[in-house]
Amino acid sequence: MQQRRIGRTDLHVSKICLGTMTWGQQNTEAEGHAQMDLAFERGVNFLDTAELYPIPPKPETQGRTETYIGNWMKARRNRADVIVASKVVGRTANDWFRGGRPSKLVRADIFDAIDKSLARLQTDYIDLYQIHFPERQIPWGSNPMRVGNWPAPRDEDETPIAETLAVFDELAKAGKIRHFGLSNESSWGVMRFVAESDKGVGPRVASLQNAYNLVNRTFEVNLAEVCDREEVSLLPYSPLAQGYLTGKYDHGARPEGSRSQLFNRGQRYETPNAAEVQLEYNELARSFGLEPALFANAFVTSRPFVTSNIIGATSIPQLNMALDSAEVRWTDEMQQAVDGIHQRTGNPCP
């Protein structure tokens, strides 16, 4: 499988990254290990996880996903062959991360997070350590403000970006992390981190992990130029829009055992007009003779600004299809058809 470089780093990752957020909730440890075995047999060398996982977050399951990955790497004795990305939570009132108190992006909390993640992963270092979401108050995913969301409130105790970045500098110098990345961040946020690192405050941001898919191309509005000119790699998540671009939810269907049927967490992809647009893309995929999931993943992987597409699966057949998307030849005709829908419908699920 083709590999691509993350930012200005020495990390070369497969163009497909194996997402892991279902392991420990929808998937057992054995199923997670089977997914990793298959993905690595097919050329994947990149895993993305977080202290938050599995999803949905709960105190009784928090951290299980990292534990499963750590057990797998220990059993396979392959840590040197695996590029591991993990994340620290931003500001949250959920108190189970820090032993009974809320969490922020301050030194004590970041060190607490990294040490616990390293222990669960059974490793001395994390290759790419990311801020899962900003500490400041902005809409989830850091997407453009809409009426009612602006101006965003500001917390009096908001931690300055320079202060947070300096902590990551400590982690890098201590050998706990190799590189630093962001997630669910805005254009302003990325540039502030870049500006501080350019002043010598801390490590330079190497990557950005934001949602990107057929029904959410907001990355292209401002962030594409920021990331291109500043050499920050996009690691897109949710290429299937939480399953809505697989076709399984077409016409209001809710299959037994699906994420939408199990958890009430699909609001981002249940906005006005979303179902109609998702159906149009799914039918477009079928018109090209492709399964919608294969088509949607191939679209993301084919984008010139995508370094590694973070795929997710709860079954081996789903995983095989996601991996197969790396081999799909994305044509000009496909792109023109996709852009035609996008021109009419925009981003219904930002």
Residues identified as active-site: 53
Cβ atoms of residues 302 and 267 within 8 Å: no
Beta-bridge mates of residue 126: 177
Handedness of CA 281, 344, 208, 28 (dihedral sign): negative
Cβ atoms of residues 95 and 102 within 8 Å: yes
Handedness of CA 318, 321, 325, 330 (dihedral sign): negative
Instruction: Give the full edge-to-edge strand order of the sheet including 205-209.
Output: 233-234, 205-209, 177-183, 126-131, 83-88, 46-48, 16-19, 309-311
Q: What is the number of alpha carbons within 13 Å of residue 57 lying toward its C-beta?
A: 13
Beta-bridge mates of residue 88: 131
In 10 A of CB 294, how many CB atoms? 19
What distances in angstroms separate CA 163 from CA 38, 82, 107, 339, 343, one per listed residue?
Answer: 41, 30, 8, 41, 41
Distance of CA 29 to the CA centre of its chain: 21
The region, left, alpha or beta by phi > 0 then psi within -120 to 50, assigned to residue 341 is alpha
Q: What backbone torsions phi and psi does residue 213 show, to the nearest 5 degrees?
A: -165, -175
- Bond preceding residue 151 cis, omega within 30 of 0: yes
